[in-house]
Amino acid sequence: MKNFYDIIKFPVVTEKSTKISENNQFVFKVGIDSSKDEIKKAIEKVFKVKVKAVNTIKVKGKKKIFKGTKGKRSDFKKAVITLVKGETLDYSGGVS
């Protein structure tokens, strides 16, 4: 059994994620091997909200040059969480 905090890494706070939060959607960086069901259960347990849908995106790491040596950034996975109408989520103040 995975720990909920291994599934949910941290919220993604960008202009785009802030804009979609008006539509009751929130973006989190999650574990690369986490499933939609695991993500849904973790969000509901940790933040005590009702989740309507979970959409996931796998992001491939970019190839970069670090101080003259070729390298690659890590791959990661994002989850866009849609909450049921009337629910709200405030991750700026910490976990309640």
What is the C-alpha separation between 68 and 6, in angstroms, rounded?
Answer: 33
On whether residue 34 sits in a domain, the answer given is yes
On whether residue 18 sits in a domain, the answer given is yes
On whether residue 95 sits in a domain, the answer given is no
Q: Tell me what pLDDT residue 91 has.
A: 73
What is the C-alpha separation between 36 and 8, in angstroms, rounded?
Answer: 11
The answer to whether the beta carbons of residues 78 and 12 sit under 8 Å apart is yes
What is the chain's mean pLDDT, rounded? Answer: 91
What's the predicted TM-score (pTM) here? 0.85
On whether residue 91 sits in a domain, the answer given is no
Structure confidence by residue, pLDDT tens digits, 44-65: 999 999 999 999 999 999 999 9
Nearest CA to 79 among 55, 51, 62? 55
Give, in degrees to the nearest 5, the angle at Cα 79 between 74 and 80: 140
Domain that residue 21 falls in: 4-83
pLDDT score of 96 more than 50 = no
pLDDT score of 66 more than 90 = no
**CB neighbours of residue 30 within 10 Å:** 27
CATH classification at residue 51: 3.30.70.330
On whether residue 96 sits in a domain, the answer given is no
